[in-house]
Chains A and B, each alone.
Chain A
Amino acid sequence: MISNRTRYLTQNVAKVLIWTAALLTIGVMMLILFQVLAEGLPVLHPRFFLDSPKNMGREGGILSTIVGTFALTLVAIVFAAPLGVGTAIFLREYTRETRISRIIRFGTDCLAGVPSIIFGLFGFVFFVIFLNMGWSILSGGLTLAAMILPTIISTAEEAIKTIPYTYREVSFSLGGTRWQTVTRTILPSAIPGIFTGIILSVGRSIGETAAVILTAGSSLVMPTSLFSPIRTMSVHFYILAREGISMEMAYGTGAALILLVLIVNTAANWLLNRYIRHRV
């Protein structure tokens, strides 16, 4: 029999360890943010955002990479959102647990775990070479679309799942078809949740580097069409830092990247909170 004292001693030791772990996690996060922001924020003059990079990125700003980041993300969302939401609607509203739905779910779960470098390889050989799109916004965007699809599907599924069964019953009992029920009752209620998933995917697209560098290239020229190669902020940051081109510019780009991700995340959180409060 363990004495009471030992038991409570164990409990207190455990408590201290767990607190340490929690504080360590917060601390490291703060350290990363502080390091990059402290060095990077002073670089962020308005000109930094409004000028395109010059001399390989040693001078000028990051405008073309911002444009590239947004273009790529936009393409990714435009393709992935309808596909993902459609899949979620099918899984939740048009089938119950059948072999088909199990296969689809297994497929999306697997897709969610595929490393980004594999997506990069795939995008390179499929979009860039096989479909002959070259290193371009389109190739990169489509590759990203494949990558964020599982996130969109699962968040949309969650959002649809929370809608009370009675809404469906009511809509059907009033003579609605399944599709009318989906478009007039289920989607309007699920939109905030779906949107949150899309915003999270935007965050992932912004931060992705490995898949993008292999499919969209790393050109610093301002893009003119969907078939232009581009360099995103993440890729720019990586090249500046790894090749030691300019630490100052690297810090600036890193700080801008962190701010962007912070904004996107806050937006998603805000939306999600509003959504949850709305539900109750």
Chain B
Amino acid sequence: MEAKDKIIERILLLIAFSSISILGLIALFIFGEGLPLIWKVGPRAFILGERWVPSQGSFGILPMIVGSFWVTFGAILLGVPLGLACAIFLSEWTPPLIAMVLRPTIQLLAAIPSVIYGFWGLIILVPLVRNYLGGPGLSILSGSVILGFMILPTIISISEDSLRALPPYYKSGALALGATHWQAIWRVMVPAARSGIVASIILGMGRAIGETMAMIMILGNAVKMPTSFLDSARTLTTNIGIEMGYASGDHRQALFATGVILFLIIMILNSSAIALSRRRRS
């Protein structure tokens, strides 16, 4: 009986390790395909190069890195205030009826496939931007707006959790000292839940940087250094998504190399978010 239990424990340990070994496998294969090209081109030329012309063998992904950061920055600019407001709304004000609509709405925002967002952005948002603000419409601005909504669920759920996890005396203490409800929220609760909120923002950034399909549909995909929010752009993910279908040889390796850079950025973001929420727990 107990011998059998020991065997089961071993099996479960094996299962648990094979679960995370997937992460190792991913790293191994992406790096295995991508690193040789980075060495061939030279890490500096690859990351800081501004020319991406696979047919001529020039592989510089700086425009994509810059594009990813612009789009992500824009998404954060929209998503963070909106998300934080919704989190405060849900944890503090919640008139029952609106909360009953808002909560499923947020769940749905998380559940709707990214291609639908991309499609909606393409049909509705892109023409609006083109007609009222000029430029091609397929732009960083359109992409940022869509992404801002796509990362809302991440930001809201984690911020709300960390606001709700605060001991009730934070609020009652502030109110007892004569603070208004808003002052209690803004001066006491939000700062106290800071690490959770920052973690939610970092995870939101991770999602924004990682989004592919919606961005392919909206950003216009031009390979050039963006100079304004109305410019068309290409991100690390869309670079892979667009060209993977027909790439071969060095070109394909260069796309994996793009994946390597993306993977590293995401790992840095993830680790810092995890470290932050660890600190919150302890």
Q: What distance in Å separates the Cβ of B101 from its nearest Cβ neighbour in chain A?
A: 6
A21 to B107, CA, bound (A): 16
Please judge, given known A-B contacts A125-B29, A241-B119, whether A207 and B104 are in contact too, CB under 8 Å: no
B186 in the interface (beta carbon within 8 A): yes
A100 to B211, CA, bound (A): 31
Contact B16 A124 (CB under 8 A): no
Contact B111 A114 (CB under 8 A): no
Contact A209 B82 (CB under 8 A): no
Contact B9 A91 (CB under 8 A): no
Residues of chain A with a CB closer than 8 A to B108's CB: 29, 33, 261-262, 265
A106 to B277, CA, bound (A): 12
Contact B111 A261 (CB under 8 A): yes
Contact B120 A36 (CB under 8 A): yes
Contact B29 A21 (CB under 8 A): no
Q: What distance in Å separates the Cβ of B175 from its nearest Cβ neighbour in chain A?
A: 12
Give residues 84-112 of B contacting A (CB, 8 Å).
85-86, 88-89, 93, 98, 101-102, 104-109, 111-112
Contact B211 A115 (CB under 8 A): yes
B271 in the interface (beta carbon within 8 A): yes
- How many chain-B residues does the 8 Å CB contact rule pick out? 87
Q: What distance in Å separates the Cβ of B221 from its nearest Cβ neighbour in chain A?
A: 11
The closest CB in chain A to the CB of B94 belongs to A22
B270 in the interface (beta carbon within 8 A): yes
Contact A35 B5 (CB under 8 A): no
**Contact among A31, A83, A104, A209 for B115, CB-based, below 8 A:** A209
Contact B182 A14 (CB under 8 A): yes
**Contact among A22, A89, A91, A108 for B89, CB-based, below 8 A:** A22
**Contact among B12, B88, B109, B210 for A117, CB-based, below 8 A:** B210
- How many chain-A residues does the 8 Å CB contact rule pick out? 84
The closest CB in chain A to the CB of B270 belongs to A113
Residues of chain A with a CB closer than 8 A to B15's CB: 82-83, 86-87, 90
A167 in the interface (beta carbon within 8 A): no
A44 in the interface (beta carbon within 8 A): no
Contact A177 B120 (CB under 8 A): no
Contact A177 B269 (CB under 8 A): no
**Per-residue B-contact encoding for A78-104, CB less than 8 Å = 1, 0 else:** 000011101101110010000010011
The closest CB in chain A to the CB of B244 belongs to A214
Give residues 169-213 of B contacting A (CB, 8 Å).
180-183, 185-186, 203, 206-207, 209-213
Contact A11 B182 (CB under 8 A): yes
Which of B12, B29, B104, B209 is packed against the most chain A CB atoms within 10 Å?
Answer: B12
Please judge, given known A-B contacts A17-B85, A90-B13, A237-B119, whether A22 and B149 are in contact too, CB under 8 Å: no
Residues of chain B with a CB closer than 8 A to A121's CB: 30, 33, 240, 244, 255-256, 259
B152 in the interface (beta carbon within 8 A): yes
A235 to B123, CA, bound (A): 18
Contact A94 B274 (CB under 8 A): no
Contact A35 B18 (CB under 8 A): no
B132 in the interface (beta carbon within 8 A): no
**Per-residue A-contact encoding for B239-257, CB less than 8 Å = 1, 0 else:** 0110011000000000110
Contact A269 B114 (CB under 8 A): no
Contact B116 A257 (CB under 8 A): yes
Q: Which of B40-48, B58-66, B260-268 contacts A (4 or more CB under 8 A)?
A: B260-268
**Contact among B5, B119, B237 for A254, CB-based, below 8 A:** B119
A81 to B164, CA, bound (A): 30
B135 in the interface (beta carbon within 8 A): no
Residues of chain A with a CB closer than 8 A to B30's CB: 118, 121-122, 125
A132 in the interface (beta carbon within 8 A): no
Contact A104 B17 (CB under 8 A): yes
Residues of chain B with a CB closer than 8 A to A264's CB: 111
Residues of chain A with a CB closer than 8 A to B17's CB: 104
Residues of chain B with a CB closer than 8 A to A113's CB: 203, 206-207, 210, 266, 269-270, 273
Which of B102, B209, B241, B266 is packed against the most chain A CB atoms within 10 Å?
Answer: B241
Q: What distance in Å separates the Cβ of B122 from its nearest Cβ neighbour in chain A?
A: 7
Residues of chain A with a CB closer than 8 A to B255's CB: 121
Residues of chain A with a CB closer than 8 A to B112's CB: 32, 207, 258, 261
**Per-residue B-contact encoding for A245-280, CB less than 8 Å = 1, 0 else:** 000001000100110011011000100000000000
Residues of chain A with a CB closer than 8 A to B262's CB: 115, 117-118
A8 to B181, CA, bound (A): 9
**Contact among A22, A35, A115, A257 for B266, CB-based, below 8 A:** A115
